[in-house]
Chains A and B, each alone.
Chain A
Amino acid sequence: MTATVRNLVPPAPPAPALRGPSLRDRLKGPAVFTFVAVLALVAAPLLLEPFRLNLLAKYLCYAIVALGIGLAWGQGGMLTLGQGVFFGLGGYAMGMYLKLNDAGGDLPDFMVWSGVEKLPALWAPFANPVFAVVFAVAGPVLLALLLGALVFRQRVRGAYFAILTQALAAATVILLVGQQGLTGGTNGLTNFFELFGQDLAADETQRGLYLVVAAVLGVLYLLARQLVRSRFGRLLVAIRDGEDRVRFLGYNPATVKTVTFAVSAGMAGLAGALFVPVVGIISPALLGVVPSLELVVAVAVGGRFSLAGAVLGAVLMGYARTSFSEEFADGWLYLQGALFILVISLAPKGLFGLLAAARNLIAARTQSRSRTMDGDMAGGADGPLVEAPEARA
Chain B
Amino acid sequence: MSEALLEVRDLSVVFDGFRALDGVDLTVERGELRFLIGPNGAGKTTLIDVITGLTRPAGGSVRFEGRDLAGRKEHEIVRMGVGRTFQTSVVFEELTVLENLDLAASFRRPLWSLARRRRGVSDAVAAAMETTQLHALADRPAGVLSHGQRQWLEIGMLIAQGPRLLLLDEPVAGMSGEERQHTGELLTEIAKEHTVIVIEHDMEFLRRYASQVTVLHEGKVLVEGSVDEVRADPRVQEVYLGRTDDTFDPAVAGKTTASAGGGRMAGGPDAGTAIGEGVVAGPGAAGTGTMSGTAAGPVAGSAAAGEVK
Contacts and interface: CB of A to CB of B under 8 A. Distances in A.
Interface string A85-96: 000000000000
Interface residues of A, number: 47
A13 interface: yes
Contacts of A247: 73-75, 78
B212 interface: no
Contacts of A256: 111
Contacts of A250: 75, 78-79, 107-108, 161
Nearest to A381: B146
Nearest to B113: A231
Given A232-B111, A382-B144, A241 B92 contact: yes
Interface string B132-169: 11111111110011101100100001000100000000
Contact of B95 (A8, A237, A386): A237
A381 B140 CA distance: 12
A22 interface: no
Interface string B173-198: 00000000110011011000000000
Contacts of B120: 18
Contacts of A232: 111, 114-115
A11 B115 CA distance: 34
Interface residues of B, number: 58
Contacts of B144: 380-382, 386
A231 B189 contact: no
Interface in A1-40: 1-2, 4-13, 15-18
A347 to B, nearest CB: 18
A9 B116 contact: no
Contacts of A227: 115
B115 to A, nearest CB: 5
Contacts of B138: 15-17
B146 to A, nearest CB: 7
A204 interface: no
A274 B131 CA distance: 53
Contacts of A380: 137, 140, 144-146
A231 B114 contact: yes
A12 B93 contact: no
B99 interface: yes
Contacts of B83: 248
Contacts of A245: 86, 90, 92
Given A5-B133, A16-B136, A234-B103, 20 more contacts: A1-B185, A6-B133, A9-B133, A9-B134, A15-B138, A17-B98, A227-B115, A231-B114, A234-B99, A238-B92, A238-B95, A238-B103, A241-B92, A249-B104, A250-B78, A256-B111, A259-B111, A378-B136, A378-B137, A390-B141
Interface of B: 52, 73-75, 78-79, 83-84, 86, 90, 92-96, 98-99, 102-104, 106-109, 111, 114-118, 120-121, 130-141, 144-146, 148-149, 152, 157, 161, 181-182, 185-186, 188-189
Closest 3 CB pairs of A and B: A250-B78, A250-B107, A17-B138
